[in-house]
Amino acid sequence: MNKIKDVQFTETVLRDAHQSLMATRLKTEEMLPILEKMDKVGYHAIECWGGATFDASIRFLNEDPWERLREIKKRMKHTPLQMLLRGQNLLGYRHYADDIVDKFIEKSIENGIDIIRVFDALNDSRNMEACVKAVKKYGGHVQLTICYTISPIHTIDYYKKLTKRLDELGADSICIKDMAGILTPFVVKKLIPAIKEVTSLPIEVHTHATSGISEMTYLTAVQVGADIIDTAISPFSGGTSQPATESLSIVLTELGYETHLKKDILEEIADYFKPIKDHYLKEMILDPKMMTVDPKALIYQVPGGMLSNLYSQLKQANAQERYEEVLREVPKVREDLGFPPLVTPMSQMIGTQAVFNVLSGERYKMIPNEIKDYVRGLYGTPPAPINESIRKIIIGNDEVITGRPADLLEPEFEKQKKEIKAIAKTDEDILIYAMFPQLGETFLKEKYQSKKIINKEVIRINAVM
């Protein structure tokens, strides 16, 4: 008798699903009432933090991301909590010194994170080293990531060698992260067996429904040995998000796999999120355009979150009609710059450069500082050499560094602590400031000022009573 194969599910609704569909606008108060039910489903993990949630919480929602994590953990007694971390970039958009990386991971685990999925936008494993060391130090599970992309150099052999490096670096599991929904069944059928030749670690597959092939990719991935898949509860599934949790659970169960998911509770969770989705549709925060399948993703290789950001940039510039033109420019810029995978922060950087190239009417007339730093080697080594003529346009004869970028950085936690000591009350506050100095300082001032106002009001009321 054949042994029933387990397929584990990681639920993304609290992080990547709403990040991909509506720029990470789900509020903590909308999450909390359903968490205890989610904890009973039988998920392998719930991805609830990291990625853009930290930034969006303080920038748009006036919420403390650390407080969100603590509140989620209070209600999640059984299911591991997972976060997405951008390697040496943490949750910001630059490389941070190793002491900041260590402190951030210490506090993430202390406040409730169990699994930290670490990726580097260039698949440069040197930019994951400090993260691995810290996660091991503080007792977490470190999942190292292959950012999947397509180019002449991103071959099966390339991914096989990368997997071997990540295994040797100390990964507890490996994630194949397909940001753009371009991992086809044909490729995954070759990729996973090849990876399993060089590692015995659990393999998780993450994709998006953007191009319309995600369910087929997951089914094939499971058939050839994937252990875990990432899905989103149905109201926040599809389009630029992940495929639906319930649908895949039903199909895989019928095929003889054990998913460990309680389908009756999944229905209750879906019913809870339906009116929340309707609210955001009505408020036009969730753009219906992001809910539709776009096979052009297979051509342009643009991730869902990047699609929504590009559209938003063009909308602000009153140039929505140039959306397709920008999409065509993205792969050209990517080729010029050494075929970096389109994942944060590279997706934003490449996307912004493509927008500038189209709107200015001249390629590389306007160049963001981040692109200049990337070309100088400050983000790591590009997968392929940068076009020499483009390099000269961007940085002239400036030196290009070849070492680990973080080796150039002095320890900075104590410096950040001194700068914000008049406002910050905890290490978590200091880390908010370290990630986003101006935004963080404003947020912390408002956070503690509003608490003073509330406390004075409570004193006044008590005095009257």
* 3-state DSSP of the chain: CCCCCECEEEECHHHHHHHHHHCCCCCHHHHHHHHHHHCCCCCCEEEEEECCHHHHHHHCCCCCHHHHHHHHHHHCCCCCEEEEECHHHCCCCCCCCHHHHHHHHHHHHHCCCCEEEECCCCCCHHHHHHHHHHHHHCCCEEEEEEECCCCCCCCHHHHHHHHHHHHHHCCCEEEEECCCCCCCHHHHHHHHHHHHCCCCCCEEEECCCCCCCHHHHHHHHHHCCCCEEEEECHHHCCCCCCCEHHHHHHHHHHCCCECCCCHHHHHHHHHHHHHHHHHHHHCCCCCHHHHCCCCCHHHHCCCHHHHHHHHHHHHHCCCHHHHHHHHHHHHHHHHHCCCCCCCCCHHHHHHHHHHHHHHHCCCCCCCCHHHHHHHCCCCCCCCCCCCHHHHHHHHCCCCCCCCCHHHHCCCCHHHHHHHCCCCCCCHHHHHHHHHCHHHHHHHHHHHHHHHHHHHHHHHHHHHHC
With 60 as the cut, is the pLDDT of residue 461 above it?
no
Angle between helices 98-110 and 129-137 (to 10 degrees): 40
Amino acid at 277: K
d(CA 274, CA 265): 14
Give the pLDDT confidence of 240-269 residue by residue, as tens digits: 999 999 999 999 999 999 999 999 999 999
Please state, in angstroms and rounded to a whole number, the distance separating the CA atoms of residues 83 and 104.
12
pLDDT tens track for 380-439: 999 999 999 999 999 999 999 999 999 999 999 999 999 999 999 999 999 999 999 999
pLDDT of res. 1 = 44
pLDDT at 47 over 50: yes
For residue 388, the model assigns a pLDDT of: 95
For the cut 80, the answer to whether the pLDDT of residue 78 exceeds it is: yes
Q: Check: CB of residue 354 under 8 Å from CB of residue 365.
A: no
Residue 462 has pLDDT above 50, yes or no: no
Structure confidence by residue, pLDDT tens digits, 296-320? 888 877 776 677 678 878 888 888 8
Say how far apart CA 108 and CA 84 lie, in whole Å: 11
Q: Is the pLDDT of residue 2 over 60?
A: no
Whole-model pTM?
0.92
Q: In angstroms, how far is CA 398 from the centroid of its own chain?
A: 32
pLDDT of amino acid 174: 98
Cα angle for residues 15, 17, 130 (degrees, 5° grid): 40
Are the C-beta atoms of residues 47 and 12 closer than 8 Å to each other?
yes
- How many other CB atoms are found less than 10 A from the CB of residue 265? 15
Report the pLDDT value the prediction gives residue 311, as an integer from 0 to 100: 80
Mean pLDDT of the chain: 93
What's 8-282's CATH class? alpha beta
pLDDT band for position 459 (50/70/90)?
Answer: very low
Which of 213, 248, 255 is CA-nearest to residue 230?
248
State the pLDDT at residue 454. Answer: 38
Checking if the pLDDT of 26 tops 70, the result is: yes
Please give the pLDDT value at position 382. 95
Q: Using the Cα atoms of residue 247, residue 4, residue 198 and residue 117 in order, give the sign of their dihedral.
A: positive
- CATH superfamily of the 292-406 domain: Conserved carboxylase domain (1.10.472.90)
pLDDT digits (tens, 9 = 90+) for 327-336: 899 999 999 9
Look at the block and give the residue holding tokens 């559209």. Answer: 311
Q: Are 232 and 246 a contacting pair, CB within 8 Å?
A: no
Burial of 412 (0-12, 13-18, 19+ CB in 10 A): middle
pLDDT in tens, 91-135: 988 899 999 999 999 999 999 999 999 999 999 999 999 999 999
Q: How many residues does the chain have?
A: 465
